[in-house]
Structure 1
């Protein structure tokens, strides 16, 4: 497989990068990426992945566009209010890059459908906005052994976690938040500054590209918290909980 003349021209700035080059761009072209949630995080993440030439992009969401979304979900327009997020995003991203394949999953995913979609993906991005979905996506990725790039944001704060799941002793999302309750603070009641989700979503795309192109990254296996108000980061190395029911020894024992 090789790049066409059109692709070589389009991705010429990638080809100049030693860490990507033609082989990396071919990996991106062959990659299958699942983006769960097409809100404030999913919009920038999917946009940069489409622009980067990820060959197979799956967008999953069942929500419709609301006027309050437009403050930060900048892929959508006023005339899109009331329309499906994933169908609108698919149309917009196809206009950005006609050389890739984009599929929309415009429904709530049950355990079976989620497992099927994760199993087909090379990398999964959790861009959801609720704890139940994060737990479900994490469990599906652990079960399938698929890399997970997880993001979250509220008010002026953001979080980024990259779970490569390429070693049995690596932590998962459940290890970090084993007894978490659904947060009282969310974008609907605490607000969100648009560029915060833009920052985290863009970093999710960045880390996804690194995973696909087999690039080293300090973000893998650590919890990163972003304070946008003071422009500060805090990083914590993630440790597996041996008793974790999702990825720990109890889970793996026969």
Structure 2
């Protein structure tokens, strides 16, 4: 590791369980961020700042004025631009050494599997059940760990599905067919700062995973932003899950 890198990441290198080896793992890591909105913005910023060497940003949407209340990588000057273009510019300004690739389109299942197979971790910052389910299926098929976050109103959730583990629960084990795509920030609202809280926790999970530290795998963390309380529930694989059970495993 170069002297400049030792200085830049010194506050992280000194952490127990991290060290130079852990930082080197970050520098060599590839993270895919699905969605560059309220959750994806802090995820991309903190992963780049922490020294993750390769980020792939995926989002088909353009920046709109209603995004600016919470999607902190974008500004008024970015309205109408592809979100991945705006986000990539901010990431490059934060850490020029970070290699950034962008996909400004919807990825089908095959494209996601191809991309995820090259990644060390996938972070889901999308805002609907259909997208989250498709992302989980692709990550499960490639055995790529998935850090999943969600926010709505004053509430947030986060967990890590470590699909390298044979008995890991999947997204479908937890949510089934989901609550419908009407349950979004666009229809229910969200406190401006809450995606920042959950997105920062997602970045924390990814950094720990990449450095080989313990994660939330097997646990779901739930945040009540009004009461400012966290609670945790255990996640177990559903033996009858149509997505991840051995009898229904992806081909």
Q: TM-score range by the shorter chain?
A: over 0.9
Give the distance between the partners of 2:221 and 2:117, measured in 1 at CA.
26
136-145 vs 240-249, which moves further? 240-249
Q: Which residue of 1 aligns with 2:167?
A: 169
Give the distance between the partners of 2:15 and 2:162, measured in 1 at CA.
23
Q: Deviations over 1:150-183 (max 9, x none)?
A: 0000010001011112222221000111232315
Give the aligned CA root-mean-square deviation in angstroms.
1.3
Q: Tell me the TM-score normalised to structure 1 length.
A: 0.96
Give the distance between the partners of 2:225 and 2:75, measured in 1 at CA.
26
Cα distance, 1:155–1:21 mapped onto 2, change above 3 Å: same
Structure 2, gaps ≥5 residues long: none
Q: Deviations over 1:87-144 (max 9, x none)?
A: 1110111011011101111111111111111111100001101111101111011111
Q: Which residue of 1 aligns with 2:136?
A: 138
In the TM superposition, residue 199 of structure 1 has moved relative to its aligned partner by: 0.4
Corresponding residue SS for 1:120: coil
Q: Which residue of 2 aligns with 1:93?
A: 91
Q: Which residue of 2 aligns with 1:153?
A: 151
Corresponding residue SS for 2:193: helix
Q: Deviations over 1:53-103 (max 9, x none)?
A: 000100000100011111111111111111110011101110110111011
Q: Tell me the TM-score normalised to structure 2 length.
A: 0.97
Q: Which residue of 1 aligns with 2:219?
A: 222
Structure 1, gaps ≥5 residues long: none
In the TM superposition, residue 187 of structure 1 has moved relative to its aligned partner by: 0.9
Give the distance between the partners of 2:98 and 2:181, measured in 1 at CA.
37
1:250 aligns with 2:247: yes
Q: Pick the aligned partner of 2:17 from 10, 16, 19.
A: 19
Q: Which residue of 2 aligns with 1:38?
A: 36
In the TM superposition, residue 16 of structure 1 has moved relative to its aligned partner by: 1.3
Give the distance between the partners of 2:222 and 2:92, measured in 1 at CA.
33
